[in-house]
Structure 1
Amino acid sequence: MFLNQNLIMLLIPLLSLPYFPTPNTYCLGFLMVIKILHNLALVCLARTPHFNRWIIVEANTYEKYWPFYQKRGGNYFPKDHLKKAVAEIEEMCNILKMEGVTVRRPDPIDWSVKYKTPDFESTGLYGAMPRDILIVVGNEIIEAPMAWRARFFEYRAYRSIIKDYFHRGAKWTTAPKPTMADELYDQDYPIRSVEDRHKLAAQGKFVTTEFEPCFDAADFIRAGRDIFAQRSQVTNYLGIEWMRRHLAPDYKVHIISFKDPNPMHIDATFNIIGPGLVLSNPDRPCHQIDLFKKAGWTIVTPPIPVIPDDHPLWMSSKWLSMNVLMLDEKRVMVDANEVPIQKMFEKLGISTIKVNIRNANSLGGGFHCWTCDVRRRGTLQSYFD
């Protein structure tokens, strides 16, 4: 949604070690209120007796990082790296407050506690990416069901905040929680070659099946009364259909797809940055881009990221450079190291707020992922016929 200035986000930065604090951002109104958390982040893997527990990791990460998960599964992320990430997110929160954003944070959760359902047992992951689990549409906060077993109970970190908004008049919806039984995952999903994945993606087949609805909120992106969603490794067609029926007739959900063999979360591939303005990843072109061109949108191609090859990105790609956070139509939070994209925004007449979160990127998200806007000012419009 494009609502004039001021946004209220939900930031959940990390803090205090050896626990992996979870950065989450919850915006609400005009200011941002910050509360420190000490959420624990683990490199986790779920287990069942006959389940290939690596298939989810392999389907959602790059092969060069598989040894990292095999070695550290069930343990904390590297302490020194987390310490640097904590400092970065704290600084980001301080800057957001200075820009007039209200920052709120979730409750501390011990993610090392093992839990068990009739279908699996697991420990948690983290509560670092509120964009993954929450989406705000109008005055409604929707909790996504998620697709990773290690994230089954991630919603618990946000419940206090959501209840507070509910008491103040917001609608609160929890999407149907999947069982995450073995049938939800294709345990024979090919992870050998990019070519295999491209072929399956073209057929709409991914590591998650259509056994039951599942989705991460980060596979949806809003543009006024139109919401765009992608079928991905964590979001299936049943999940998208649930959102479509739930939001109709006030909002229209469109399915779009990309030349991407490993889709997971849309905002480092296709990021709407203003009315009629969208960043489109040149490495993952959108198959439905004509829909936007016919509506008069400007398609902006972001420059190649400058993040070094030796910087660890355990859960994402270098294209987090385009995972920016729009505070309003004229202000964007962008990585301080990504000079090429800073210049791109300046040419568009958008002021850049430069913040370094490179170490925080390693945990799987950029500015957009580490935050979730709750309220913006402006009018609700339709940008498509």
Structure 2
Amino acid sequence: MPQSTSVPPPALNSFDEFTRLQEVVLGRADHYNAHHTEPSWRLFFYDNVAPVLGRHTAPSGEELLPIPSQLTDELNEDIYGLADALTGCGVNVLRPAVPGKDVDIRSPHWDARATPPLNVRDQTIILGNTIVETAPHIRARIFENDLLKPAFYRYYEAGANWLSMPRPALASDSLDTSYFTRQSLDVSRATDGETAGSIEGLGLEMVFDGAQCMRLGRDVLVNVANHNHELALRWLRDNVCNLRFHRLDAMADNHIDSVLVPLRPGLMLLRSPEYLKYLPEAMQSWDVIYAPETDDSNFPDYTDLGFVIPIGSRYMDINLLSVDEDTVVVNSLYPELITVLERRGFTVVPVRHRHRRLFGGGFHCFTLDTVRRGGPEDYLS
């Protein structure tokens, strides 16, 4: 498996999603044997898990929903395949530290089963030569970035800047449910049974994931769906002054990298035409590839494995990773997209990824691109 070497690291430099990729952190799924289905998890994945919340969240009513070891093993096989494909494209692949087994974490306000550092895009944004650690939505992920710190210190010692959003307490009432209530959705199935303590006078906190952003040189698109996100956008504007942050008004409930993928300047992959209206005016004239429909047979059937919740949407395979402006890594189980991209002149590197809905991440989610060739170009003027 590719690992960091004693060669001096390149300078942190990642301004966009599509210029030549030189170095990347690829997540780990070691010991990913359960989802902790407590209220912050249920709210975050509400769109996808709501249909089953009315029945139960886990066997026997427990909050820990076991994941069969067979599925984790197959996920690890697919991640190894992704690492090999990236190495074959000339990309240096770094990995987080190996997580401990069954790590339970505790704050003064709640307990949780820690999530391994698989979807490393979520808790960090790389903005040029700056590492920005974000403020997790899900309690189980609060210490996840500790396992990325070996890589972060590597870049810091080579001259990178390193910032962190204020760590959220994630006490009761910290999370804003207004995205759902504006749609007249009842989220009580997610919030019922909350056992976390409260902090007098705290209210809604800054809560935000890196995957709510898309980077375009000197411009960053930021999805803002509630007050938690509004606070984070203000923090980004106050603390990263050399970039322009564009507010996308509730394009999704949180992450947007299974909705929008800039493929190169002037060309993007978009889930459907209804999302154009959320984009900056300058992007609305870009050429668009709309994600083709896929057959449900491309997704695993978990019927014989007991109670398994698919937490990611069926659009997860839009979540591709660009190696450069002409080369993309795409799930081999989405042949419809591969065909469309090849017709548009892209070199497609197909890599198998079976359980993307179960683990809630695609190739963009699993990776944190730390070194790309591009700089702070202006793609929107």
Q: TM-score range by the shorter chain?
A: 0.7 to 0.9
User: Which amino acid in structure 2 is aligned with residue 354 of structure 1?
Assistant: P
User: Which amino acid in structure 1 is aligned with residue 147 of structure 2?
Assistant: A
Give the deviation of 1:87 after TM superposition. 0.8
Decide whether the 8 Å contact of 1:45 with 1:123 is kept in 2.
no
Aligned match of 2:243: 251
Where 1:129 maps in the other structure, the secondary structure is coil
Where 2:312 maps in the other structure, the secondary structure is coil
Decide whether the 8 Å contact of 2:333 with 2:353 is kept in 1.
no
* Whole-angstrom distance in 2 between the partners of 1:275 and 1:188: 34
The yes-or-no answer on 1:329 pairing with 2:325 is yes
Give the deviation of 1:232 after TM superposition. 3.8
User: Which amino acid in structure 2 is aligned with residue 324 of structure 1?
Assistant: L
Give the deviation of 1:310 after TM superposition. 5.8
Aligned match of 1:371: 367
User: Which amino acid in structure 1 is aligned with residue 83 of structure 2?
Assistant: C
User: Which amino acid in structure 1 is aligned with residue 94 of structure 2?
Assistant: R
* Whole-angstrom distance in 2 between the partners of 1:301 and 1:3: 18
Q: Structure 1, residues 194-235: CA drift from partner, whole Å, max 9, x if none?
A: 95249xxxxxxxxxx972211011111101111001124795
The yes-or-no answer on 1:114 pairing with 2:129 is no
Aligned match of 2:49: 62
* Whole-angstrom distance in 1 between the partners of 2:135 and 2:251: 26
The yes-or-no answer on 1:218 pairing with 2:225 is no
User: Which amino acid in structure 2 is aligned with residue 255 of structure 1?
Assistant: R
Picking from 84, 88, 93, the partner of 1:98 is 88
* Whole-angstrom distance in 2 between the partners of 1:197 and 1:281: 23
* Whole-angstrom distance in 2 between the partners of 1:188 and 1:269: 21
Where 1:292 maps in the other structure, the secondary structure is helix
Unpaired runs of 5+ residues, structure 2, are: 1-15, 187-201, 303-308
User: Which amino acid in structure 2 is aligned with residue 316 of structure 1?
Assistant: G
Where 1:157 maps in the other structure, the secondary structure is helix
Where 2:58 maps in the other structure, the secondary structure is helix
The TM-score normalised by the length of structure 1 is 0.80
Return closer, same or farther for 1:364/1:284 CA change in 2, 3 Å cut-off. farther
Unpaired runs of 5+ residues, structure 1, are: 15-20, 22-38, 47-51, 199-208
User: Which amino acid in structure 2 is aligned with residue 9 of structure 1?
Assistant: V
* Whole-angstrom distance in 1 between the partners of 2:320 and 2:226: 22
User: Which amino acid in structure 2 is aligned with residue 212 of structure 1?
Assistant: E
Give the deviation of 1:154 after TM superposition. 1.0
User: Which amino acid in structure 1 is aligned with residue 27 of structure 2?
Assistant: I
* Whole-angstrom distance in 1 between the partners of 2:224 and 2:319: 19
The yes-or-no answer on 1:265 pairing with 2:252 is no
User: Which amino acid in structure 1 is aligned with residue 367 of structure 2?
Assistant: T
Where 2:380 maps in the other structure, the secondary structure is coil
Give the deviation of 1:137 after TM superposition. 0.8
Decide whether the 8 Å contact of 2:104 with 2:113 is kept in 1.
yes
Q: Structure 1, residues 43-95: CA drift from partner, whole Å, max 9, x if none?
A: 1145xxxxx66752662533344457422632541111111111111111111
The yes-or-no answer on 1:8 pairing with 2:23 is yes
Aligned match of 2:137: 147
Decide whether the 8 Å contact of 1:146 with 1:215 is kept in 2.
yes
User: Which amino acid in structure 2 is aligned with residue 304 of structure 1?
Assistant: E
The TM-score normalised by the length of structure 2 is 0.81
Decide whether the 8 Å contact of 1:41 with 1:125 is kept in 2.
no
Give the deviation of 1:5 after TM superposition. 2.2
Where 1:318 maps in the other structure, the secondary structure is coil
* Whole-angstrom distance in 1 between the partners of 2:205 and 2:43: 16
* Whole-angstrom distance in 1 between the partners of 2:151 and 2:66: 26
**Number of aligned residue pairs:** 341
The yes-or-no answer on 1:43 pairing with 2:32 is no
* Whole-angstrom distance in 1 between the partners of 2:101 and 2:213: 26
Task: Name the stretch that deviates more: 310-319 or 361-370.
Answer: 310-319
* Whole-angstrom distance in 1 between the partners of 2:282 and 2:248: 11
Decide whether the 8 Å contact of 2:214 with 2:257 is kept in 1.
yes
Where 2:99 maps in the other structure, the secondary structure is coil
Aligned match of 1:202: none
Give the deviation of 1:276 after TM superposition. 1.8
Give the deviation of 1:361 after TM superposition. 4.3
Give the deviation of 1:163 after TM superposition. 1.0
Q: Structure 1, residues 295-345: CA drift from partner, whole Å, max 9, x if none?
A: x42222111133436646722111112111000001000111212111211
RMSD: 2.8
